[in-house]
Structure 1
Amino acid sequence: MPPRLLRVVGWGSAAVLGLLTVAVFVLVLIPAKNAVLPTRIKYGLVFDAGSTHTSLYIYRWPAHKENGTGIVSQVEACSVSGPGISSYADDPAGAGASLKPCLDKAMQIIPAEQQRETPTYLGATAGMRLLREENSTKAERIFAEVSKAIGQYPVDFRGARILTGSEEGSFGWITVNYLLQTLIKFSFAEKWEHPQDTEVVGALDLGGASTQITFQPGVPVEDRNTSVFFRLYGTNYSLYSHSYLCYGQSQALKMLLAALHQASSSAEISHPCYPRGYEENLTVAELYDSPCVHAPSSASPGLVLRVTGTGDPAACGTAVRSLFNFSCGAQGPCGFNGVQQPPVRGQFLAFSGFYRSLHFLNLTGGQSLSLVNATIWEICNSSWEQVQGLFPTSSRRQLRDACTAISYTLTLLLQGYKFNSTTWPNIHFVRQVADIDVGWALGCMLNLTNIIPSEPLTAVTELPRSIWIAATVLLAIMLILTFCLLTAMCYQRSSSGYEQL
């Protein structure tokens, strides 16, 4: 064989062998690393129908990571105009109509081809719980109207219902720990792992008609009514959770005013938590329009009551504490009103009304308990004119209730939930985590769409499109070179035969 032809054959064999080695590496070793094909985004909608207002939350997440965590983002939070849906007891159609502007907004955000597969929920909380107790027929009519309104849109509507207090507290706890990645997080090894030596965080929620506390206690909880069990990502969680109906901020302030009215035994009410010089009129019917307050039998619904603020911090604190029964008796540690509660433990995120009350006075930055108390004393000792000067852009209602709301919030946390000067720094007042509003809505969606699985799922391995293309090109080159090598070998054989002839 001529030396040149020998070199061609040698180089061709070496090239084929080298490409075969590369191809084997590409097709065998690369798939061992998790990689996924690009996928589209999925969406979910949750209506948070609270006692004082309703919000629509629009979430999205990568479809191929549906069973992961830390990947849900909040696209939009649309505030529904008007009061909470429970306020439409005598106009149920109005409850449904109130949701439409936010649904129209959602349809502008979610691609048309994905709308029919978008899971949509409406969860109502303590406002509708109270209405159901007062008049179940009116509550059912409201749900029928809101379901009818949502059903007119091309979404995967999965129902409207009242959440239990335990669900509301538990979903809030899931939201908090999901966002903080204390349940599971993406590690440097590029896989989802349960964080080691990471404590879960407790959740404190204050709505308009109820308040919830949920945390992982340091001792077993014997009362089944306050015990919640989860198995998330292969880890068991035993939680304490309780919801106090009528102890949301709006209803508590109404209970306080009713107690002051009944103590006065007249149409003149002195309110120690309202600023000095503040005055307003309201009827007995307006005051006693909730199952949380009961009008005296002798009170005429049309009677006009005159309320005058006295701005007395000490008397305000005494009046607020009178709403609670802090006695635990022989049953052991409790929160209030005889409900058992183990000692609070660990870090807590306080959101909703807890955050709003302190944020109004710029007290959400980790201020000491002594500074918070001093600020409360100052605001509760102010006149109506002084309060208006301090907060010129705030509404009349916000200014009227500033002292009452912050006094109630602090009493609930310290005397009610049994935080103290030592554990106070463990409470972190937040509205959002990672640009997502903190509340029960996200936890509800995660639970109902199984984005949080009951057991960890095995990762699915797929090859990216680019790797398949590269492998195809390499195989094509191999075939061409093999063809050239075979041609050269045939030429070499024919040449040898010619030489022999």
Structure 2
Amino acid sequence: MGSKAKAIAGLLAATCVCSIIALILSVVNVKDVFLPPSTKYGLVFDAGSTHTSLYIYRWRADKENDTGIVSQVEACSVSGPGISSYADDPAGAGASLKPCLDRAMKIVPAEQQRETPTYLGATAGMRLLREENSTKAEQVLAEVSKAIGEYPVDFRGARILLGSEEGSFGWITVNYLLETLVKFSFAEKWEHPQDAEVLGALDLGGASTQITFQPGVPVEDRNTSVFFRLYGTNYSLYSHSYLCYGQSQALKMLLAALHQASSSAQIIHPCYPQGYQENITVAELYDSPCAFAGFYYTFNFLNLTHQQSLSEVNTTVLSFCRRNWTELVQSFPKNLNYLHTYCSVAFYILTLLLDGYKFNEHTWSNIHFSRQAANTDIGWTLGFMLNLTNMIPAEALQHVKGHQPGLWAGAVSFLVLAVVAGLVAVFLHCFWKTK
């Protein structure tokens, strides 16, 4: 055998040896590996009576007992009033949403935008508009749907929520954030906390107010009975919404009642809702309600969100209401937009909670006035998103074969050497044959 033939044979032998070594390294110490779950995103517009906000949420695709572990990424406040204020300019309602949608498109990865469920839920402001003029309400919803539909998202509709939905979704948010529904245990897994105290939820908006809790007795009215299954556990709730008893509408009723006082001897009390289920008393059914939205903002201004006694609350409210207006303007120059409402709204809140919901000096200190929990806004949108994840199929973790980095690098190196040796052998063979 000539020297040329020996050289080619040697290169082919090196190719075989390197290939065998690469094969051995590629199968040594191979392990089953599950890739981290992908992340899902969701967008929910809260179209309230006085303003609209867009909340951006995300959760892991594998979920826990069919429900996602959802976290808030960001909240975007829409400029201008609530969409019900655009009754005579429906197109303006749609246009007002676009800056927040543009912001969301910068946060949600482009490759996931078309599969991102997007909703708009309108609350009491639109309920009132629908009662006053259903055609205008439909036009507003059509325009906001058109605006959202121009973006590359999985838009699933704009609709007016039932009052019981608004209240019960708020209840889910409160209890999820305070870890009474699911909690990450010391065993490093998500579990239903067995001894957690489930809280009630008190929501005060501009046009309606909601009360929701888990009752210990059957709920008589089906319209106030709500059922959920979250993280493998069933929940039966009592949820009642009182339209026109939000703080803005209640103040309008109060002014109307004052104007009628001189001409009518019998006036229905304008400051608290009627029709509360009589055999359900708040105090005996749950000990620690969470009061948010309008309840929090007014009492936070008065520095009354630290579970002060009812006596101290009354004293503070009376003291504030007795102050001279000129003095208040000088003391709170940054709060002029709402300064004139704090006194009347504070009295309305006291009347609503004491006369309407029957809290007293013994149960008052159990009320928690909160805006956020776990750095997340308290409202109905997070509860809505959590419940929605029940209907979005979970994704199984992707299963792959894994190598140690050193072995994988070695296998690749020997494979490269085998390819190089083989190519050199072919080149030399062709070159010498031509010569």
State TM-score, norm by structure 2: 0.80
Tell me which residue corresponds to 1:217: 215
Instruction: Please say if residues 121 and 159 of structure 1, whose CA atoms lie closer than 8 Å, have aligned partners that are also in contact.
Output: yes
Judging changes above 3 Å, is the alpha-carbon distance between structure 1 residues 134 and 141 closer, same or farther for their aligned structure 2 residues? same
Matched to 1:169, the amino acid is G
Tell me which residue corresponds to 1:106: 104
Tell me which residue corresponds to 1:205: 203
1:402-441 matches, cutoff 5 A: 402-441=342-381
Q: What is the SS of the residue equivalent to 2:404?
A: helix
1:107-146 matches, cutoff 5 A: 107-146=105-144
Judging changes above 3 Å, is the alpha-carbon distance between structure 1 residues 94 and 461 closer, same or farther for their aligned structure 2 residues? closer
Shift of residue 67, structure 1, vs aligned partner? 5.8
Residues in 2 aligned to 1:452 and 1:425: alpha-carbon distance in whole angstroms: 40
- Counterpart among 44, 55, 58 of residue 57 in structure 1: 55
Judging changes above 3 Å, is the alpha-carbon distance between structure 1 residues 158 and 427 closer, same or farther for their aligned structure 2 residues? same
Shift of residue 116, structure 1, vs aligned partner? 1.1
1:191-202 matches, cutoff 5 A: 191-202=189-200
Matched to 2:196, the amino acid is T
- Structure 1: state its 5+ residue gaps: 1-21, 266-295, 297-319, 326-335, 478-501
Deviations 1:41-78 (A, max 9, x none): 32111100001111111112233347676842222111
Tell me which residue corresponds to 2:340: 400
- Counterpart among 150, 153, 161 of residue 152 in structure 1: 150
Judging changes above 3 Å, is the alpha-carbon distance between structure 1 residues 223 and 254 closer, same or farther for their aligned structure 2 residues? same
User: Is 1:374 the equivalent of 2:283?
Assistant: no
Shift of residue 461, structure 1, vs aligned partner? 6.7
Judging changes above 3 Å, is the alpha-carbon distance between structure 1 residues 324 and 366 closer, same or farther for their aligned structure 2 residues? closer
Instruction: Please say if residues 39 and 64 of structure 1, whose CA atoms lie closer than 8 Å, have aligned partners that are also in contact.
Output: yes
- Counterpart among 413, 438, 442 of residue 382 in structure 2: 442
Instruction: Please say if residues 271 and 351 of structure 2, whose CA atoms lie closer than 8 Å, have aligned partners that are also in contact.
Output: no
- Structure 2: state its 5+ residue gaps: 1-27, 412-435
Shift of residue 134, structure 1, vs aligned partner? 0.6
Residues in 2 aligned to 1:123 and 1:66: alpha-carbon distance in whole angstroms: 26
Shift of residue 433, structure 1, vs aligned partner? 1.0
Tell me which residue corresponds to 1:11: none
Judging changes above 3 Å, is the alpha-carbon distance between structure 1 residues 38 and 413 closer, same or farther for their aligned structure 2 residues? same
Tell me which residue corresponds to 1:390: 331
Residues in 1 aligned to 2:377 and 2:299: alpha-carbon distance in whole angstroms: 17
Tell me which residue corresponds to 1:339: 276
1:247-326 matches, cutoff 5 A: 247-264=245-262, 322-324=269-271
Judging changes above 3 Å, is the alpha-carbon distance between structure 1 residues 179 and 162 closer, same or farther for their aligned structure 2 residues? same
Shift of residue 144, structure 1, vs aligned partner? 0.6
Larger relative CO (CA 8 A, sep 6+): 1 or 2?
A: 2
Q: State the aligned residue count.
A: 380
Judging changes above 3 Å, is the alpha-carbon distance between structure 1 residues 438 and 47 closer, same or farther for their aligned structure 2 residues? same
User: Is 1:469 the equivalent of 2:403?
Assistant: yes
Matched to 1:367, the amino acid is Q
Residues in 2 aligned to 1:416 and 1:166: alpha-carbon distance in whole angstroms: 18
Instruction: Please say if residues 69 and 178 of structure 1, whose CA atoms lie closer than 8 Å, have aligned partners that are also in contact.
Output: no
Q: What is the SS of the residue equivalent to 2:88?
A: coil
- Counterpart among 159, 162, 173 of residue 161 in structure 1: 159
Residues in 2 aligned to 1:460 and 1:117: alpha-carbon distance in whole angstroms: 17
Tell me which residue corresponds to 2:22: none
Residues in 2 aligned to 1:66 and 1:157: alpha-carbon distance in whole angstroms: 25
1:3-152 matches, cutoff 5 A: 36-65=34-63, 71-152=69-150
Q: What is the SS of the residue equivalent to 2:36?
A: coil
State the superposition RMSD in angstroms. Answer: 2.9
Residues in 1 aligned to 2:322 and 2:392: alpha-carbon distance in whole angstroms: 49
Q: What is the SS of the residue equivalent to 2:305?
A: coil
Shift of residue 211, structure 1, vs aligned partner? 0.4
Tell me which residue corresponds to 1:17: none
Judging changes above 3 Å, is the alpha-carbon distance between structure 1 residues 237 and 452 closer, same or farther for their aligned structure 2 residues? farther
Judging changes above 3 Å, is the alpha-carbon distance between structure 1 residues 109 and 438 closer, same or farther for their aligned structure 2 residues? same
Q: What is the SS of the residue equivalent to 2:360?
A: coil
Residues in 1 aligned to 2:163 and 2:194: alpha-carbon distance in whole angstroms: 31
Instruction: Please say if residues 167 and 239 of structure 2, whose CA atoms lie closer than 8 Å, have aligned partners that are also in contact.
Output: yes
Judging changes above 3 Å, is the alpha-carbon distance between structure 1 residues 47 and 106 closer, same or farther for their aligned structure 2 residues? same
Shift of residue 262, structure 1, vs aligned partner? 2.4
Residues in 1 aligned to 2:210 and 2:54: alpha-carbon distance in whole angstroms: 21
Shift of residue 207, structure 1, vs aligned partner? 0.6
Tell me which residue corresponds to 2:7: none
Instruction: Please say if residues 324 and 337 of structure 1, whose CA atoms lie closer than 8 Å, have aligned partners that are also in contact.
Output: no
Q: What is the SS of the residue equivalent to 1:393?
A: helix
Matched to 2:404, the amino acid is A
State TM-score, norm by structure 1: 0.70
Deviations 1:81-125 (A, max 9, x none): 111101111111111111111111111222222211111100000
Provide the identity percentage.
72
